[in-house]
Amino acid sequence: MSKGSQLTDEQKDITKKIELIKKNIGLYPDFPVPGVSFRDTFSILRQPNLFNTLKSILIDAVQTHFMEAECIAGLDARGFLIGPLIALELRLPFIPIRKQGKLPGKVTSEGYTKEYGKDTVEVQTDSVTPGMKILVVDDLLATGGSLEASCHLIEKCQGDVIGCLVIIEIESLHGRSRLHVPIHSIVKY
């Protein structure tokens, strides 16, 4: 922010809400494996007023940064908690991106490497309409593997990924550098 510029009351309110969210995110050292510090959004979901605050921040982020979204895609498993909330509020379709072997019907798959192993994600092929503008949401951006794989998956089905929205970004892991789409994170560590 340049000298002399000031935050509007609305920007101050959003900043306060984001700080409240950040203060309430749980931290679990050495989970799920030694050396990983796990940031947990479940602590927010246990507090209905705070969860509602998070929902309003996410909706505002979509309306500010990704207005052209025609569909919301959420990653297994925590993206399933926020993606449908956003989709329902904005009256958009929701597409689940799941771990391998969890979706019925014809699926498209994409493998990836994550902070502590390898995995594969899938999407039901007929859930993506060619050219559909899709926003991918998840709770966390760490190394970027699952979000990168999800974007490739949607593109394999001829969808247009317009960006990614996450609650938490772990900046030291540089996951953002793996993605070729705009990314908006609510809280950064």
Average pLDDT over residues 150-154: 98
| CA dist list (Å): 133 to 34, 136, 157 | 39, 10, 12
CATH of the domain at 169: 3.40.50.2020
Q: What is the CA radius of gyration of the chain?
A: 17
Q: Report the domain count for the chain.
A: 1
pLDDT number for residue 115: 67
Token output for 32: 């799920």
Average pLDDT over residues 118-134: 97
Q: How do residues 50-76 score in pLDDT, each as one tens digit?
A: 999 999 999 999 999 999 999 999 999
Is 2 within the bounds of a domain? no
> Which of helix, strand or coil describes residue 91?
coil
Residue 134 burial (CB count, 10 A): 28
pLDDT number for residue 114: 75
User: Percentage of residues in the chain with pLDDT exceeding 90?
Assistant: 90
pLDDT band at 164 (very low <50, low <70, confident <90, very high): very high
Is 133 within the bounds of a domain? yes
pLDDT of residue 4 exceeding 60, the answer is no
Active-site residues: which are they?
A: 78, 115
| CA dist list (Å): 172 to 117, 141, 144, 177 | 18, 11, 12, 11
pLDDT band at 10 (very low <50, low <70, confident <90, very high): confident
DSSP 8-state assignment for residue 46: T
pLDDT number for residue 99: 96
Nearest to 166 by CA among 69, 51, 74: 74
User: Percentage of residues in the chain with pLDDT exceeding 70?
Assistant: 96
Q: Where are the alpha helices (DSSP H) in the chain?
A: 9-23, 42-45, 48-65, 79-90, 145-156
Q: Which domain holds residue 175?
A: 9-188
Spatial strand order of the sheet with 71-75 comes to 107-114, 117-124, 94-99, 71-75, 133-141, 160-169, 183-188
Is 15 within the bounds of a domain? yes
pLDDT of residue 48 exceeding 60, the answer is yes
Is 4 within the bounds of a domain? no
Is 60 within the bounds of a domain? yes
Q: How do residues 71-113 score in pLDDT, each as one tens digit?
A: 999 999 999 999 999 999 999 999 999 999 999 999 999 999 8
